[in-house]
Protein backbone atom coordinates (compact mmCIF):
# COMPACT_ATOMS: atom_id res chain seq x y z
CA UNK A 1 0.00 0.00 0.00
CA UNK A 2 1.22 3.52 -0.82
CA UNK A 3 0.67 5.63 2.31
CA UNK A 4 1.05 9.35 2.85
CA UNK A 5 1.26 10.62 6.44
CA UNK A 6 1.12 14.28 7.44
CA UNK A 7 2.56 15.54 10.74
CA UNK A 8 1.41 19.05 11.73
CA UNK A 9 4.20 19.68 14.27
CA UNK A 10 7.81 20.48 13.47
CA UNK A 11 10.44 17.78 13.59
CA UNK A 12 12.91 20.43 14.75
CA UNK A 13 11.91 19.57 18.31
CA UNK A 14 10.92 16.31 19.94
CA UNK A 15 7.27 15.71 20.76
CA UNK A 16 4.74 12.96 21.26
CA UNK A 17 2.89 13.41 17.97
CA UNK A 18 6.14 13.70 16.00
CA UNK A 19 7.47 10.50 17.58
CA UNK A 20 4.16 8.74 16.92
CA UNK A 21 4.20 9.69 13.24
CA UNK A 22 7.81 8.64 12.64
CA UNK A 23 7.48 5.38 14.57
CA UNK A 24 4.23 4.50 12.77
CA UNK A 25 5.94 5.13 9.44
CA UNK A 26 8.83 2.86 10.41
CA UNK A 27 6.44 0.14 11.55
CA UNK A 28 4.45 0.32 8.30
CA UNK A 29 7.63 0.25 6.22
CA UNK A 30 8.74 -2.78 8.22
CA UNK A 31 5.48 -4.47 7.22
CA UNK A 32 6.30 -3.91 3.55
CA UNK A 33 4.37 -0.73 2.80
CA UNK A 34 5.59 2.35 0.91
CA UNK A 35 5.35 5.40 3.20
CA UNK A 36 6.13 9.10 2.79
CA UNK A 37 5.79 11.61 5.65
CA UNK A 38 5.24 15.34 5.12
CA UNK A 39 6.26 17.45 8.12
CA UNK A 40 7.65 20.87 9.02
CA UNK A 41 11.43 20.68 9.38
CA UNK A 42 14.28 23.07 8.75
CA UNK A 43 17.16 22.06 6.50
CA UNK A 44 19.51 21.73 9.47
CA UNK A 45 17.38 19.10 11.21
CA UNK A 46 18.28 15.47 10.40
CA UNK A 47 15.20 13.54 9.27
CA UNK A 48 14.62 9.96 8.09
CA UNK A 49 14.79 9.34 4.35
CA UNK A 50 11.04 8.78 4.17
CA UNK A 51 10.33 12.36 5.32
CA UNK A 52 9.58 15.25 2.94
CA UNK A 53 10.38 18.60 4.55
CA UNK A 54 7.69 21.29 4.45
CA UNK A 55 9.85 24.16 5.67
CA UNK A 56 10.33 25.88 8.99
CA UNK A 57 7.54 26.31 11.51
CA UNK A 58 6.44 29.08 13.88
CA UNK A 59 6.04 28.52 17.63
CA UNK A 60 2.56 29.35 18.93
CA UNK A 61 0.69 28.50 22.16
CA UNK A 62 -1.50 25.46 21.51
CA UNK A 63 -3.20 22.81 23.72
CA UNK A 64 -1.56 24.01 26.94
CA UNK A 65 1.91 23.91 25.43
CA UNK A 66 3.91 25.54 22.64
CA UNK A 67 3.49 23.97 19.20
CA UNK A 68 5.60 24.66 16.14
CA UNK A 69 3.21 24.85 13.19
CA UNK A 70 3.31 25.96 9.58
CA UNK A 71 0.46 27.55 7.64
CA UNK A 72 -0.19 29.96 4.78
CA UNK A 73 0.12 30.08 0.97
CA UNK A 74 3.69 28.76 0.81
CA UNK A 75 2.78 25.79 2.99
CA UNK A 76 -0.33 25.12 0.89
CA UNK A 77 1.81 25.12 -2.26
CA UNK A 78 4.15 22.56 -0.70
CA UNK A 79 1.21 20.37 0.33
CA UNK A 80 -0.28 20.48 -3.18
CA UNK A 81 3.09 19.69 -4.77
CA UNK A 82 3.63 16.73 -2.41
CA UNK A 83 0.18 15.30 -3.10
CA UNK A 84 0.57 15.75 -6.84
CA UNK A 85 3.91 13.95 -6.83
CA UNK A 86 2.55 10.89 -4.98
CA UNK A 87 -0.33 8.63 -5.90
CA UNK A 88 -1.24 7.61 -2.35
CA UNK A 89 -3.69 4.79 -1.74
CA UNK A 90 -4.56 6.43 1.56
CA UNK A 91 -3.69 9.75 3.21
CA UNK A 92 -3.24 9.74 7.00
CA UNK A 93 -3.52 13.15 8.68
CA UNK A 94 -2.56 13.73 12.30
CA UNK A 95 -4.32 16.49 14.25
CA UNK A 96 -6.19 17.97 11.25
CA UNK A 97 -7.83 20.51 13.57
CA UNK A 98 -4.46 22.16 14.30
CA UNK A 99 -3.73 25.14 12.02
CA UNK A 100 -0.91 23.44 10.15
CA UNK A 101 -0.10 21.02 7.33
CA UNK A 102 -2.76 18.40 8.12
CA UNK A 103 -5.55 20.95 7.89
CA UNK A 104 -4.16 22.24 4.59
CA UNK A 105 -3.86 18.69 3.21
CA UNK A 106 -7.42 17.91 4.22
CA UNK A 107 -8.70 20.95 2.32
CA UNK A 108 -7.28 19.70 -1.00
CA UNK A 109 -7.08 15.92 -0.54
CA UNK A 110 -8.80 13.48 -2.84
CA UNK A 111 -9.41 9.82 -2.13
CA UNK A 112 -9.40 7.97 1.21
CA UNK A 113 -8.42 10.14 4.19
CA UNK A 114 -7.75 8.80 7.71
CA UNK A 115 -7.43 11.30 10.57
CA UNK A 116 -5.87 10.67 13.97
CA UNK A 117 -6.77 12.90 16.92
CA UNK A 118 -4.32 13.30 19.80
CA UNK A 119 -5.67 16.39 21.59
CA UNK A 120 -6.99 15.78 25.10
CA UNK A 121 -7.82 19.32 26.25
CA UNK A 122 -11.49 19.04 27.35
CA UNK A 123 -12.35 22.60 26.29
CA UNK A 124 -10.11 23.29 23.33
CA UNK A 125 -10.33 27.00 22.51
CA UNK A 126 -9.03 26.35 19.02
CA UNK A 127 -11.73 23.78 18.27
CA UNK A 128 -14.42 25.97 19.78
CA UNK A 129 -13.32 28.99 17.76
CA UNK A 130 -13.06 27.12 14.49
CA UNK A 131 -16.05 24.77 14.88
CA UNK A 132 -18.01 26.32 11.97
CA UNK A 133 -15.03 25.79 9.66
CA UNK A 134 -13.82 22.46 11.01
CA UNK A 135 -17.10 20.54 10.91
CA UNK A 136 -17.64 20.75 7.13
CA UNK A 137 -13.92 20.29 6.51
CA UNK A 138 -13.87 17.07 8.56
CA UNK A 139 -16.66 15.66 6.43
CA UNK A 140 -13.89 14.93 3.94
CA UNK A 141 -12.39 12.41 6.38
CA UNK A 142 -13.17 8.79 5.53
CA UNK A 143 -12.16 7.19 8.85
CA UNK A 144 -11.15 8.57 12.25
CA UNK A 145 -8.77 7.35 14.97
CA UNK A 146 -8.36 8.67 18.53
CA UNK A 147 -5.29 7.71 20.55
CA UNK A 148 -7.20 7.50 23.82
CA UNK A 149 -10.73 7.65 25.25
CA UNK A 150 -10.12 11.25 26.31
CA UNK A 151 -8.96 12.26 22.81
CA UNK A 152 -12.05 10.55 21.40
CA UNK A 153 -14.27 12.36 23.90
CA UNK A 154 -12.78 15.74 22.96
CA UNK A 155 -13.34 15.06 19.27
CA UNK A 156 -16.92 13.86 19.72
CA UNK A 157 -17.92 16.74 22.00
CA UNK A 158 -16.40 19.45 19.83
CA UNK A 159 -16.96 18.14 16.33
CA UNK A 160 -19.48 15.30 16.41
CA UNK A 161 -19.08 11.95 14.72
CA UNK A 162 -16.99 9.21 16.27
CA UNK A 163 -13.54 7.64 16.14
CA UNK A 164 -12.03 4.22 16.74
CA UNK A 165 -9.55 4.09 19.62
CA UNK A 166 -6.02 2.98 18.73
CA UNK A 167 -3.30 3.89 21.26
CA UNK A 168 0.14 5.28 20.65
CA UNK A 169 2.82 2.68 20.11
CA UNK A 170 6.28 1.97 21.50
CA UNK A 171 9.12 -0.13 20.11
CA UNK A 172 9.11 -2.56 23.00
CA UNK A 173 11.93 -4.83 21.82
CA UNK A 174 14.31 -1.96 21.01
CA UNK A 175 13.75 -0.15 24.31
CA UNK A 176 13.98 -3.34 26.37
CA UNK A 177 17.22 -4.46 24.69
CA UNK A 178 19.03 -1.15 25.20
CA UNK A 179 17.78 -0.62 28.76
CA UNK A 180 18.90 -4.09 29.82
CA UNK A 181 22.22 -4.28 28.00
CA UNK A 182 23.52 -0.73 28.12
CA UNK A 183 22.04 1.36 30.96
CA UNK A 184 23.66 4.68 31.74
CA UNK A 185 26.29 4.44 34.50
CA UNK A 186 25.39 5.89 37.86
CA UNK A 187 27.17 6.40 41.19
CA UNK A 188 27.61 3.17 43.11
CA UNK A 189 25.15 2.54 45.92
CA UNK A 190 22.73 5.30 44.89
CA UNK A 191 19.02 5.03 44.28
CA UNK A 192 17.71 6.87 41.23
CA UNK A 193 14.31 8.34 40.49
CA UNK A 194 13.86 9.36 36.87
CA UNK A 195 11.80 11.98 35.06
CA UNK A 196 11.27 12.12 31.27
CA UNK A 197 9.62 15.09 29.59
CA UNK A 198 9.68 18.87 29.29
CA UNK A 199 10.57 19.66 32.89
CA UNK A 200 9.70 23.38 32.80
CA UNK A 201 6.18 22.80 31.50
CA UNK A 202 3.80 23.20 34.49
CA UNK A 203 1.53 20.27 33.63
CA UNK A 204 4.48 17.85 33.76
CA UNK A 205 4.53 18.21 37.55
CA UNK A 206 8.21 18.82 38.29
CA UNK A 207 7.52 21.03 41.39
CA UNK A 208 5.58 18.17 42.99
CA UNK A 209 8.41 15.73 42.32
CA UNK A 210 11.11 18.02 43.68
CA UNK A 211 9.18 18.59 46.92
CA UNK A 212 8.51 14.86 47.23
CA UNK A 213 12.19 14.01 46.86
CA UNK A 214 13.47 16.39 49.56
CA UNK A 215 13.25 13.89 52.47
CA UNK A 216 14.29 10.86 50.39
CA UNK A 217 17.75 9.38 49.98
CA UNK A 218 17.71 9.29 46.19
CA UNK A 219 19.06 11.06 43.15
CA UNK A 220 16.94 12.54 40.37
CA UNK A 221 17.81 11.91 36.73
CA UNK A 222 16.03 14.33 34.38
CA UNK A 223 15.67 13.62 30.66
CA UNK A 224 14.05 16.20 28.41
CA UNK A 225 13.99 19.80 27.27
CA UNK A 226 13.76 22.83 29.51
CA UNK A 227 15.65 25.69 31.12
CA UNK A 228 18.32 23.95 33.18
CA UNK A 229 19.51 27.16 34.87
CA UNK A 230 15.97 27.99 35.95
CA UNK A 231 15.45 24.46 37.26
CA UNK A 232 18.63 24.57 39.32
CA UNK A 233 17.76 28.01 40.67
CA UNK A 234 14.65 26.63 42.35
CA UNK A 235 16.11 23.39 43.67
CA UNK A 236 15.86 23.01 47.44
CA UNK A 237 19.32 23.15 48.99
CA UNK A 238 19.11 19.50 50.00
CA UNK A 239 18.72 18.49 46.32
CA UNK A 240 21.36 20.79 44.85
CA UNK A 241 23.92 18.03 44.35
CA UNK A 242 21.43 15.20 43.78
CA UNK A 243 19.92 16.25 40.44
CA UNK A 244 21.44 15.26 37.09
CA UNK A 245 19.96 16.80 33.91
CA UNK A 246 20.66 15.10 30.59
CA UNK A 247 18.53 17.49 28.55
CA UNK A 248 17.10 16.49 25.18
CA UNK A 249 18.52 13.15 24.03
CA UNK A 250 18.05 10.65 21.22
CA UNK A 251 15.88 7.56 21.61
CA UNK A 252 18.76 5.23 22.42
CA UNK A 253 20.07 7.50 25.17
CA UNK A 254 16.56 7.81 26.58
CA UNK A 255 16.30 4.00 26.73
CA UNK A 256 19.72 3.85 28.44
CA UNK A 257 18.50 6.42 30.98
CA UNK A 258 15.33 4.42 31.66
CA UNK A 259 17.51 1.39 32.31
CA UNK A 260 19.45 3.33 34.95
CA UNK A 261 16.36 4.31 36.98
CA UNK A 262 15.08 2.48 40.02
CA UNK A 263 11.72 4.22 39.54
CA UNK A 264 10.33 6.34 36.71
CA UNK A 265 8.19 9.16 38.10
CA UNK A 266 5.51 10.82 35.95
CA UNK A 267 3.84 13.41 38.26
CA UNK A 268 1.86 15.10 35.47
CA UNK A 269 -1.16 17.15 36.49
CA UNK A 270 -3.30 16.48 33.39
CA UNK A 271 -3.69 17.40 29.73
CA UNK A 272 -2.22 14.10 28.51
CA UNK A 273 -4.04 12.14 25.81
CA UNK A 274 -1.83 9.07 26.23
CA UNK A 275 0.95 8.06 28.61
CA UNK A 276 3.71 7.42 26.08
CA UNK A 277 6.46 7.99 28.66
CA UNK A 278 4.71 5.55 30.99
CA UNK A 279 4.60 2.93 28.24
CA UNK A 280 8.29 3.48 27.47
CA UNK A 281 9.10 2.94 31.14
CA UNK A 282 7.18 -0.34 31.11
CA UNK A 283 9.03 -1.43 27.97
CA UNK A 284 12.36 -0.72 29.68
CA UNK A 285 11.38 -2.87 32.64
CA UNK A 286 11.48 0.17 34.93
CA UNK A 287 8.94 0.36 37.78
CA UNK A 288 6.63 3.32 37.22
CA UNK A 289 5.05 5.72 39.73
CA UNK A 290 2.48 7.80 37.86
CA UNK A 291 -0.13 10.44 38.58
CA UNK A 292 -3.59 8.96 38.84
CA UNK A 293 -4.92 10.68 35.73
CA UNK A 294 -6.97 8.92 33.07
CA UNK A 295 -4.27 8.79 30.39
CA UNK A 296 -1.77 7.10 32.71
CA UNK A 297 -4.34 4.92 34.42
CA UNK A 298 -5.37 3.51 31.03
CA UNK A 299 -1.79 2.52 30.23
CA UNK A 300 -1.05 0.94 33.59
CA UNK A 301 -4.33 -0.89 34.18
CA UNK A 302 -5.18 -4.16 32.44
CA UNK A 303 -8.75 -3.72 31.13
CA UNK A 304 -9.55 -7.41 31.59
CA UNK A 305 -8.17 -8.07 35.07
CA UNK A 306 -8.02 -4.57 36.57
CA UNK A 307 -4.46 -5.27 37.72
CA UNK A 308 -2.13 -2.27 37.80
CA UNK A 309 1.37 -2.49 36.35
CA UNK A 310 2.53 0.61 38.22
CA UNK A 311 1.91 2.72 41.29
CA UNK A 312 -0.77 5.40 40.84
CA UNK A 313 -0.47 8.48 43.06
CA UNK A 314 -2.61 11.62 43.37
CA UNK A 315 -1.32 14.56 41.31
CA UNK A 316 -0.28 17.78 43.07
CA UNK A 317 0.23 15.92 46.37
CA UNK A 318 3.95 15.94 47.30
CA UNK A 319 3.41 14.10 50.59
CA UNK A 320 1.68 11.22 48.82
CA UNK A 321 4.50 11.10 46.29
CA UNK A 322 7.10 11.02 49.07
CA UNK A 323 5.35 8.04 50.66
CA UNK A 324 4.79 6.24 47.37
CA UNK A 325 8.35 6.67 46.12
CA UNK A 326 9.79 5.66 49.47
CA UNK A 327 7.67 2.50 49.47
CA UNK A 328 9.07 1.50 46.07
CA UNK A 329 12.68 2.49 46.72
CA UNK A 330 12.71 0.51 49.95
CA UNK A 331 11.16 -2.63 48.43
CA UNK A 332 13.24 -4.27 45.66
CA UNK A 333 10.82 -7.20 45.45
CA UNK A 334 7.89 -4.83 44.87
CA UNK A 335 9.83 -3.10 42.11
CA UNK A 336 10.62 -6.47 40.52
CA UNK A 337 6.92 -7.43 40.58
CA UNK A 338 5.92 -4.14 38.94
CA UNK A 339 8.63 -4.51 36.31
CA UNK A 340 7.37 -7.98 35.42
CA UNK A 341 3.75 -6.80 35.27
CA UNK A 342 4.83 -3.86 33.13
CA UNK A 343 6.53 -6.07 30.56
CA UNK A 344 3.30 -7.99 30.10
CA UNK A 345 1.08 -4.91 29.99
CA UNK A 346 3.18 -3.02 27.44
CA UNK A 347 2.66 -5.70 24.81
CA UNK A 348 -0.69 -4.05 24.06
CA UNK A 349 1.18 -0.93 22.94
CA UNK A 350 3.89 -2.54 20.83
CA UNK A 351 4.08 -1.05 17.34
CA UNK A 352 3.46 -4.42 15.73
CA UNK A 353 0.05 -4.48 17.41
CA UNK A 354 -0.72 -0.80 16.86
CA UNK A 355 0.35 -0.73 13.19
CA UNK A 356 -1.82 -3.76 12.43
CA UNK A 357 -4.83 -1.96 13.91
CA UNK A 358 -4.07 1.19 11.88
CA UNK A 359 -3.79 -0.88 8.70
CA UNK A 360 -7.27 -2.28 9.29
CA UNK A 361 -8.58 1.29 9.41
CA UNK A 362 -6.75 2.07 6.16
CA UNK A 363 -8.40 -0.92 4.50
CA UNK A 364 -11.84 0.23 5.65
CA UNK A 365 -11.14 3.75 4.40
CA UNK A 366 -9.98 2.52 0.99
CA UNK A 367 -13.04 0.28 0.67
CA UNK A 368 -15.29 3.22 1.59
CA UNK A 369 -13.68 5.67 -0.85
CA UNK A 370 -16.63 7.32 -2.66
CA UNK A 371 -14.79 7.11 -5.99
CA UNK A 372 -14.40 3.36 -5.64
CA UNK A 373 -18.01 2.95 -4.57
CA UNK A 374 -19.22 4.97 -7.57
CA UNK A 375 -17.01 2.97 -9.91
CA UNK A 376 -18.34 -0.27 -8.47
CA UNK A 377 -21.95 0.87 -8.84
CA UNK A 378 -21.48 2.23 -12.36
CA UNK A 379 -22.63 -0.35 -14.98
CA UNK A 380 -19.71 -1.69 -16.96
CA UNK A 381 -19.36 -0.70 -20.63
CA UNK A 382 -18.37 -3.29 -23.24
CA UNK A 383 -16.20 -2.54 -26.23
CA UNK A 384 -19.15 -1.99 -28.61
CA UNK A 385 -20.31 0.87 -26.38
CA UNK A 386 -23.30 -1.07 -25.07
CA UNK A 387 -23.69 -1.60 -21.32
CA UNK A 388 -22.95 -5.02 -19.94
CA UNK A 389 -25.90 -7.36 -20.30
CA UNK A 390 -27.37 -5.41 -23.24
CA UNK A 391 -28.25 -7.68 -26.17
CA UNK A 392 -27.05 -7.25 -29.77
CA UNK A 393 -30.56 -7.41 -31.15
CA UNK A 394 -29.70 -10.43 -33.31
Give residue-wise pLDDT tens across range 260-305.
Answer: 999 999 999 987 878 999 999 999 999 999 999 998 999 999 999 9
pLDDT at 169: 94
Domains located in the chain, CATH noted: 2-169+350-371 (3.40.50.2000), 172-348 (3.40.50.2000)
75 vs 71: CA distance, rounded Å: 5
Q: What is the DSSP string of 310-360?
A: SEEE-TT-HHHHHHHHHHHHT-HHHHHHHHHHHHHHGGGGBHHHHHHHHHH
Element spanning 244, H or E: strand 243-247
pLDDT at 121: 60
203 vs 315: CA distance, rounded Å: 10
CA neighbor of 157 nearest in space, from 106, 121, 113, 133: 121
| Phi, psi values for residue 275, rounded to 5° | -90, 70
Residue 347 and residue 169 in contact, taking contact as beta carbons nearer than 8 Å: no
Q: Does the pLDDT of residue 379 top 80, yes or no?
A: no
pLDDT at 15: 81
374 vs 185: CA distance, rounded Å: 62
Element spanning 195, H or E: strand 192-196
CA neighbor of 102 nearest in space, from 88, 110, 91: 91
| Phi, psi values for residue 144, rounded to 5° | -125, 140
Residue 97 and residue 133 in contact, taking contact as beta carbons nearer than 8 Å: no
Q: Does the pLDDT of residue 393 top 80, yes or no?
A: no
284 vs 124: CA distance, rounded Å: 33
- Does the predicted model carry a pTM greater than 0.75? yes
Give all strands (DSSP E) within 17-121, no chain letters. 34-39, 51-53, 58-62, 65-69, 90-94, 113-117
User: Rounded mean pLDDT of 33-53?
Assistant: 95
User: Rounded mean pLDDT of 103-119?
Assistant: 91
Q: What confidence tens digit (pLDDT) does each residue in 295-354 have?
A: 899 999 999 999 999 999 999 999 999 999 999 999 999 999 999 999 999 999 999 999
Residue 72 and residue 47 in contact, taking contact as beta carbons nearer than 8 Å: no
Strand 58-62, strand 65-69: pairing: antiparallel
User: Angle at CA 105, nearest 5°, toward 139 and 349?
Assistant: 80
Cβ atoms within 10 Å, residue 9: 26
Q: How far is CA 231 from CA 3, 225, 235, 316, 359, in A?
A: 42, 11, 7, 18, 43
Q: What confidence tens digit (pLDDT) does each residue in 223-268 have?
A: 999 999 999 998 999 999 999 999 999 999 999 999 999 999 999 9
Q: Does the pLDDT of residue 389 top 80, yes or no?
A: no
Amino acid sequence: MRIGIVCPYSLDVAGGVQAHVLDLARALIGLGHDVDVLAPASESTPVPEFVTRAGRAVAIPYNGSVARLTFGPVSMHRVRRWLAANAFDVLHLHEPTAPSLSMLALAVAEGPVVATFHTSTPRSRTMLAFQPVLRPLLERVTARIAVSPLARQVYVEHLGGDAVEIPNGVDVAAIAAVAAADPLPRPSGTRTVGFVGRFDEPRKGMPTLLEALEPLDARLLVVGRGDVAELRSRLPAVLADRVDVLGAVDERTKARALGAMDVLATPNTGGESFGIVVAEGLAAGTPVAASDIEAFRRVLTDPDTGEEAGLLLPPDDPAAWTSGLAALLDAPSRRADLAAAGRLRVRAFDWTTVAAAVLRVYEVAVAADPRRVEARDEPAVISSGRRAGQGSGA
